[in-house]
Amino acid sequence: MTEADKDDLFYVCSLVEFIARKTKNKRGVVANRLGVDGFAKQLKDAQVNHCLSFEQVGEEIVDQYKIPQGDFESVENCKYDIPSYTDIGNLYCIMVLDCAKNGDEIETAIKIFTSPISDYISNFNSDCYYQNPSYLEESFKAGKLL
C-alpha cells in the first residue's frame, strides 16, 4: 500500500467516525451502509474529497447511503476530553493496516468497525481509545477485550 493509499484510508476511517458521531450511530452502522463498494468508492474519491469539509462530504454520504439517525451517543455524555474524529480515524487506520492482509484492507476495515472492539473504542468515558493499538488489535482478533 502506497503512502497516498494509507492517507486515503486514514481519511475514510476519519470520515466514518465523523458520520457516526453526527448521526449518533455505532461505527458499524456507517461501515455496513457503505459496504465494500461504498468504502472502495470513498477511498477512490478521497484525494478529491480531502479538499472539501467533512461536513459536506459527510452530508452527501448520509444522503447517498441513506444512513439513518441513531441513538448511540458517544460524545454528548462524555465526562472527559473527547478525542477528535481524526484521532479515532488514525487509530482505526493503524488497526486496519496492521490486521489486514495485502488487498483485504476494505473488508478488514468493515470487520473492525462492526466488531465489539469498535463500541469499546467509542466509549469515550473509558480509557480504551488510549490503549496501545497492538492490544486493541489482539482484542479485535479475539472478539473481546483481553
Report the number of distinct structural domains present in the chain: 1
How far CA 57 is from CA of 8, 52, 117, in Å, comes to 14, 7, 26
Residue type, 136: L
Q: How does pLDDT run across 48-98, given as a tens digit for each residue?
A: 999 999 999 999 999 999 999 999 987 777 777 889 999 999 999 999 999
Q: Per-residue pLDDT for 3 more than 90?
A: yes
Separation of alpha carbons 46 and 59, rounded Å: 15
Instruction: State the residue range of the domain holding 99.
Output: 3-142
Q: What is the DSSP letter of 129?
A: G
Q: How does pLDDT run across 119-138, given as a tens digit for each residue?
A: 999 988 888 888 999 999 99
Question: What does pLDDT average to over the chain?
Answer: 94
What lies within 8 Å, CB to CB, of 56 at 6+ separation is none
Per-residue model confidence (pLDDT) at position 21: 96
End-to-end CA distance of the chain: 29
What lies within 8 Å, CB to CB, of 52 at 6+ separation is none
Name the pTM for this structure.
0.94
